[in-house]
Amino acid sequence: MSPKETKVETGWSSEAKAAVFSVIGMTCSPACAGSVEKAIMRLPGIREAAVDVLNNRAQVLYHPSFVNEQTIRETIENVGFQATLISNDKNIKKSTQVCKIHVNGMTCTSCSSTIESALQAIPGVQKAQVALATEEAEIHYSPKTVSCNKLLETIENTGFEAMLISTGEEISNIELKVDGLDTDHHTTRLIEKSLQAIPGVQEIIIYPELNKVLISYKPDMIGPRTFISVIESTGGGCFKASIYPKGGGKEARRQEEIKQYYRFFLWSLVFTIPVFLTSMVLMYIPEFRQVLDTKVINMLTVGMVVRWELSTPVQFIIGRRFYFGSYKALRHGSANMDVLIVLGTNAAYFYSVYSLLRAAYSKDFEGTDFFETSTMLISFILLGKYLEVLAKGKTSEAIAKLLELTPETAILLTLDGEGNEVSEQEIDGRLIQKNDVIKIIPGAKVATDGYVLRGESHVNESMITGESRPVAKRKGDTVIGGTVNENGVLHIKATRVGSDTALSQIVRLVESAQMAKAPIQKYADRISKYFVPLVIILSLSTWFAWFLAGKFHAYPKSWIPSSMSSFELALQFGISVMVIACPCALGLATPTAVMVGTGVGASQGVLIKGGQALESAHKANCIMFDKTGTLTVGKPVVVNTQLLKKMELQEFYVLIAATEVNSEHPLAKAIVEYAKNFVEDKENPSWPEARAFISITGHGVKASIQNREIIVGNKSLMFNQNVEIPLDAKDILAKAEGMAQTGILVAIDREVAGVLAISDPLKPGAREVISILKSMKIRSIMVTGDNWGTANSVAGEVGIETVIAEAKPEDKAEKVRDFQASGYIVAMVGDGMNDSPALAAANVGMAIGAGTDIAIEAADIVLMRNNLEDVISAIDISRKTFSRILLNYIWALGFNILGIPIAAGFLFPFTGFRLPPWIAGAAMAASSVSVVCSSLLLKYYKGPRKLDNLEIHGITIE
């Protein structure tokens, strides 16, 4: 497989368009907007549809090769609304950008929902997704209407810390560390002005406190070495610039968060352990009890004073983060886990202070303090958060491993005007600029995407393509960054650098997948919205019920522990209910499983584009396969030629090649390649000029060559062109189709002159894969534009019973909808542009990694390794991930359903068992950690055993 075939692009085609329609008649958001969006998304070639009910508008991103504005408008009107085209932007990348922002301070889904709502309220923001697990926000916005700074400001106004990661997919970003930078406005302004003067610089954001400068730029025009040079020459040489250390990004922030929670937990232990000992342990040792019970004033004892002094720093200094979090949430009309923690610990702390003060002013008051409850509660929650962030960091290890493929350094060559090497210099791999010449020594990783200028070698591309066999490289061949040069020295010219490389695009695709929410998560978001208020109500109700029961002697006094009153017993039950309920576990159930699942998929060569694809793939019970390039190798060869007229074989093939050289169809390329055997210069053949060339999609081509009319194609084309097919030709076609070969008719001056038989061998393991799918109760269907004879023969070889042949691109999409209407959940597997409408129409589209960019863009899952068995892996990964999500939900909901009644004292009347608040807090923290650990078990995923026994046979063409 060549690098050209394995190129992965996450951007839409340059021909893509964005159209905005005025939609009149919508009254409600869920029903009206949903019906319009659903109808538009069913059309072929639609990438995205967003309906704004408030402004009566619909924005549609589409590919004009498959659908136009008129069809979209008519579709909206067919739903029952009046539609008018407002604007049509021919270049999506100018009208829409994707901004990624790191958000610090989120604790549960209530926080992420609050930020999403604030962002979506900004004019110009088309879509906003905030992922709790990755602590990132991904915003699709119009740069003409809103800036990245406005987005950052909005998040910070919501009460969270925001830091820009990237500003748009079509430009590169670089982080520079600038020594000598301080918070002085004049200094930062000086550097900003110097950088803004450089052509190609798009945006500059300076973080003086971190000595960091983030620059967004166009890699075609400029590069990072220029930025370093400009910064160091600014201000009389008082600045020193370098690439920001790799640890300065997301991983550094996560490590800092882990260290922060660890420090807080250790400090809380310093104060909590003495509080625990004085209240729970030392009171039972006579010598210590005598000291602790010593009266300070009236009924106030030494033990109470000590516990008060030790618990106050824990409550207000170590636990201040919970106050900040709850304040931010309540300020914006929402409630999160911090609110529950603050209410629970404050109730215990301030009641204890009340008891302490009353004991100081009373000679007969005998009260109990709960200082150990508040301190131990905060300590256990901090321990839980520490373990949670520690575990969450492991969910994104897949991306870290992908990033490790890029070498840290590269050898930059300086060439003279004649291309001779002048000098070489070792530089940071992130400083490579477009058109640089890089030297790759044996055993080294290729530094960036490019092509070979000099040298010959073999390159191991398995980490990108999954193909274990090294690929030979010589002058002019393309190479992929991150692959390994096995032997020989290569000089390569960089063509794609930074965020434009294939590896960076794969990383970006996996990151986007981890941001996307699975549809099942909406239920958790809905529950979390009402969860905290409901818990507060339950907590107050529990306290009130037990308080009234004690007041009116509804239970015997023997139930009340000797160390507390009925009020204090009721208070403990109420606090326990408040702190045991945890919305975090619900919020983490889906995103952590999706993160690990997509990471596992990426390591297996299966790129899954988010939770929606995962959820759809696990339900699939019908898979439609394209034939050429999917079930077959996709590299057809001419295996037989039958002439029906007296003419030289060389003349025959020169005429055909001159016609077919203008076509991009795989069969046309096979014919041209075979025709090279009949000319002297096989490397650079010269074909006669073709005039009046016409390509008839799905049928063939025609042209005028040397004043002779040449028609090459199938029977349908000959029929449409009124060319009579002789019986001999029909017999040859039938024989070829019976042998799973494609028969091509050649007409010269409207008379059939010959028949070509082209064979496209089956992919290794195709028959076995179809057999395994049958055992998984998944129906397999083949849909192809090839003729019925060849289609039936290929289907027979692989064991597919249902065949759809001679299908145009729009027919494929229509067949997908027909099966969906019959109740099937359809997955479509294809590789070409003609498959993209069907890929988009299917419930889940799977693109073979060696396919076209448009097919990869239209698909939900990309099979990087070009192996059919990865179809089974993709479905199996989605099933395992989805079952893990369900298990997480069962655990999270079950924990709360069982834990809340126990904390409320339901078992107390029968067993005497009650759950102290600090144990309830520990249980709450454990629920979040257990959900994350449950998701992490997906890292040990192993493919279906059936694939282990799969015997892959080689391909032989006689």
| Residues recognised as catalytic | 626
CA-CA distance, 935 to 886, in Å (whole number)? Answer: 11
With 0-12 CB in 10 A as exposed, 13-18 as middle and 19+ as buried, what is 469?
A: exposed
CA-CA distance, 695 to 689, in Å (whole number)? Answer: 16
Closest C-alpha among 353, 349, 362, 352 to residue 297 = 362
Q: Which helix (H) or strand (E) holds 205?
A: strand 201-207
Q: Which residues contact 570 (CB under 8 A, 6 or more apart)?
A: 542, 543, 544, 545, 546, 547, 549, 550
Q: Tell me the two tokens of residue 874.
A: 């993709």
CA-CA distance, 608 to 860, in Å (whole number)? Answer: 6
CA-CA distance, 764 to 783, in Å (whole number)? Answer: 19
CA-CA distance, 663 to 651, in Å (whole number)? Answer: 20
CB 28 within 8 A of CB 51: no
Closest C-alpha among 471, 450, 315, 404 to residue 1 = 471
Strands 57-62 and 82-89: unpaired
- DSSP string across 593-650: HHHHHHHHHHHTTEEE-SHHHHHHHHH--EEEE-IIIIIB-S--EEEEEEE-SS--HH
Separate counts of helices (H) and strands (E) for the chain:
33, 36
CA-CA distance, 500 to 506, in Å (whole number)? Answer: 10
Beta sheet of 409-415, edge-to-edge order? 421-428, 409-415, 437-440, 490-496, 449-454, 478-479
Closest C-alpha among 85, 160, 152, 101 to residue 122 = 152
**Tokens 């905030």 appear where?**
130
3-state SS assignment for residue 2: coil
Long-range contacts of 140-147 (CB under 8 A, 24+ apart): 140/96, 140/97, 140/98, 141/96, 141/97, 141/99, 142/95, 142/96, 142/97, 143/97, 143/168, 144/95, 146/122
Strand partners, 414: 423
With 0-12 CB in 10 A as exposed, 13-18 as middle and 19+ as buried, what is 691?
A: exposed
3, 436, 437 from 492: Cα distances, Å? 14, 8, 6
CB 763 within 8 A of CB 632: yes
CB 783 within 8 A of CB 760: no
Q: Which helix (H) or strand (E) holds 572?
A: helix 566-580
3-state SS assignment for residue 673: helix
Amino acid at 625: F
Strands 779-783 and 622-625: parallel
For 747-759, letters b (16+ CB in 10 Å) and e give bbeeebbbbbbbb
CB 328 within 8 A of CB 160: yes
User: Where do the H-state alpha helices sit in 624-757?
Assistant: 649-660, 666-675, 715-720, 727-738
Closest C-alpha among 167, 158, 59 to residue 116 = 158
3-state SS assignment for residue 182: coil
- DSSP string across 308-342: HHHHHHIIIIITHHHHHHHHHHHHTT---HHHHHH
